Structure 1
C-alpha cells in the first residue's frame, strides 16, 4: 500500500549527523535512544522526505536495517569525533553526483519530533527562494541542524570556513552560518516539540513525555465482497506495522460499504471481522480501530467502531451517535444510534472516537476533550456531492479548533467509476493540528497516512487558546 511517509523527492537530499556517544548523556549514543517505540535516529529518518539520505556517524548494530528501511547510506566522520562541521562536510562529499538544483536538509539524528510536513516546507521554501531556511524557537534561537540549504551555497560556505591546512576539525556550525548574508537566511517557527533535541537527560525525559504513538490512517477502497475486504485489511495493517505504526485506523463501514444489506453483513460477517482485527492486533502488536456493523434488537444495526489491542487490551466499541438523515439520505431507517462517548489510552495518549456525521456536532468533540482526549479519531465514509469536500475540510479544521485536539480523519477511497447514491467515501484522509492546520492529507486513491503525534503541540494550543475552560452553559429558551 502506498505510504506518504515513504515518497521521495528527486531534488531533495538529507545529511543527518549522528555522531555517536555524548558525554552529557553519560557516554550513550543519544541517536539510538528509544522514543515512543523507535530510536531517535529512526524517527528522524522516517520524517525525512528525501530521495538520498546520508547518515554521518557509526552505523551500529541497527545500521543495516535502518539503511534498508529508509534508503539511507552510513558514512563515518573522517577523522572520527572531529566535530559537527567536519561531519557535515563528510556528508556533503557523498553528494558529488547531485545536481546544483538539489536542496539539502541538514539535520541532527537526535531531533526525534521532526515532522515530514515541516521538512518538506523547509525544503520547498529554500528551493523557491534560493536561501537557507531553518527552524527557530520562540526565543529566536536558530536550529542549525534543522535547516534546508541550496547545495551550491552549502558547498561554498563550507569551502569558506575550511581550515587553512585543510579540513574542518573542531570548527563549529556557527562559523558556517556566519557566512550567510542577512537576506540569505530565513526562519520558520517550530511548532510543539519539533525543534527539540535530546542533549541532556532532562531533554530526553521531555521528548519521551510528549512523543505520542505513531498512527497509521489506512484509506481503503471497501469491496462488497467481504473476502476481498478482509484481504485488503490484512495488507493495510501489515504495511502499517512495517512502517512502525502502533495504532492503525480503518474507515467507517469497513465491514461492508453503504448501499449493501447492512443487517445481513452484521449477522454473517461481523464476528469474522472482529476476529480478524483481534488476530491482526496480536500478530503485529498494535491497536486496530475499524468500522463495522452490529445487530440490534429492532432489526437495524449499530454503526460500530471496534477497538482491538494485543491480548484484548484495549477492547472497546463506539456506536455512532449522530445518524446521517441529511442530503436525501436516511441512515436511521437501517441504523440505530448509540448514546455513549468512548475514549481509550495508548502510550500515554488519550484518544476519543467519533464517526463521520458526528463531525457536524461540535459538542461531541469538546466533550471528548473534556474527558481528556488529546487526539480524536474520525473514521468516515463521506458522501460525494457538490461542495462536500470543502465542507469536510472545513468541519475537520473547525472540530480540531473547537476541542483544541489533534484530529485524525480516515475516509474510504471511492471505487473508480462509482456512480451510486450510497456514501462510498471521497478520500482525502487528513491529520489536522489542534489549531486547525491541515498537517498531512491524502488524495482520492488508497493509501497510508502516517502521523507521529506531538503532545506538546496540543498542550501549547490549550494553554494559548483555553476554550475548554472558558466555555459556559448558555440558558435554554
Structure 2
C-alpha cells in the first residue's frame, strides 16, 4: 500500500485557508498513486497548547473539508484538529476513507504537560484502529511516542502500522527519530511520523517526517521544508517479522503487574 506523509505548514488559526491550501496536496498525492495521505498535528490551525480557538465538532470546517477532498480525489486521509469537548477541547486525529466516510477518531492520550497542553485540553482515554487495503492502522499523536505502552497495545490488536501526526520541535529532533525507530522495532510494526515545518508563535520546526519499518529501519525520510513523503506498507512484512522473531511470547504481563503493585505499596 502506497502512502503519503504531507509535511506542510498550515495557515495559523485558519482552518478555512489551510483546507484551501492543501487541495493541491490531495491532487498530487492521488496522482502519485497514494491510497492514504496524512497531515501533521492540528495542521489546519497549527499546534498551540494554550489555544481554545477554532474548536470544531465532526461537522466543522476541518473535518468536512477533509471529507470533501477525500471523496473528490478518492484518497483516504488522516488529519488532526481541536475537537469541541466539555470542559476543554481534545487534540483529536481522524481517519477518513476515500469515500468521505469517517473511519476512526483518536484523542491524544498523553498531553504535553511541559508545554501546558494539559491545562487547555482534555486527554483521550481510548485507542483507535481502522483498516485500508488489508492494512490495519492505529493512531497516535506526537508526545504519545514517548510512551511505549499504547504501541504495545496496538501490537496486540494486530495493527501493522501506526500513523503519528506531530508538531515536534527542531530542538528535540534527535528524539523524534529515536522514538520512531524504537516503537517500530519493539512492536514489529511500521511507524509513520508526519511532522510540521517552519516557524510560528509557538516554536520552530524542522520537519524530518519519516517512516520506520517493522525492523526499526528508516525506509523513507524528508528534509526540513514543505515536502510530500511517499512510502510503502506491506502487512505481510510485519506479520512475517512477528512470526519469525516472536518477541511477544516472552512478555511477562502478570509479573509486570505484580511488580507495579509492589512499587505502589
Do both share a fold (TM > 0.5)? yes
Contact 2:67 2:101 in 1 (8 A): no
Matched, 1:319 2:143: no
CA distance 1:252–1:362, shift in 2 (3 Å): same
CA distance 1:425–1:464, shift in 2 (3 Å): farther
CA distance 1:424–1:308, shift in 2 (3 Å): farther
Q: Paired residue for 1:470, among 245, 250, 261?
A: 250
Q: How does 1:219-298 map to 2 (within 5 A)?
A: 219-224=7-12, 225-259=14-48, 262-267=51-56, 271-298=60-87
Residue in 2 that maps onto 1:154: none
Residue in 2 that maps onto 1:370: 156
Contact 1:263 1:295 in 2 (8 A): no
SS, match of residue 193 in structure 2: strand
User: Which structure 1 residue ranges, 5 or more long, are not aligned?
Assistant: 1-212
Contact 2:167 2:195 in 1 (8 A): yes
Deviates more, 1:425-434 or 1:352-361: 425-434
Residue in 2 that maps onto 1:438: 218
Matched, 1:395 2:183: no
Matched residues in 2 for 1:405 and 1:314: separation? 24
Residue in 2 that maps onto 1:380: 166
Matched residues in 2 for 1:448 and 1:244: separation? 13
User: Which structure 2 residue ranges, 5 or more long, are not aligned?
Assistant: none
Matched residues in 2 for 1:352 and 1:331: separation? 23
**1:259 shift after superposition:** 3.5
CA distance 1:227–1:424, shift in 2 (3 Å): farther
**TM-score, normalising length: structure 2:** 0.90
CA distance 1:260–1:336, shift in 2 (3 Å): closer
**TM-score, normalising length: structure 1:** 0.51
Contact 1:411 1:429 in 2 (8 A): yes
Matched residues in 1 for 2:101 and 2:185: separation? 30
Q: Paired residue for 2:140, among 326, 344, 354?
A: 354
Matched residues in 2 for 1:406 and 1:315: separation? 20
**1:437 shift after superposition:** 0.6
CA distance 1:325–1:270, shift in 2 (3 Å): farther
Matched residues in 2 for 1:252 and 1:220: separation? 10
Q: How does 1:23-422 map to 2 (within 5 A)?
A: 213-224=1-12, 225-259=14-48, 262-267=51-56, 271-298=60-87, 300-326=88-114, 329-385=115-171, 388-415=172-199, 418=200, 420=201, 422=202
Matched residues in 1 for 2:251 and 2:44: separation? 38
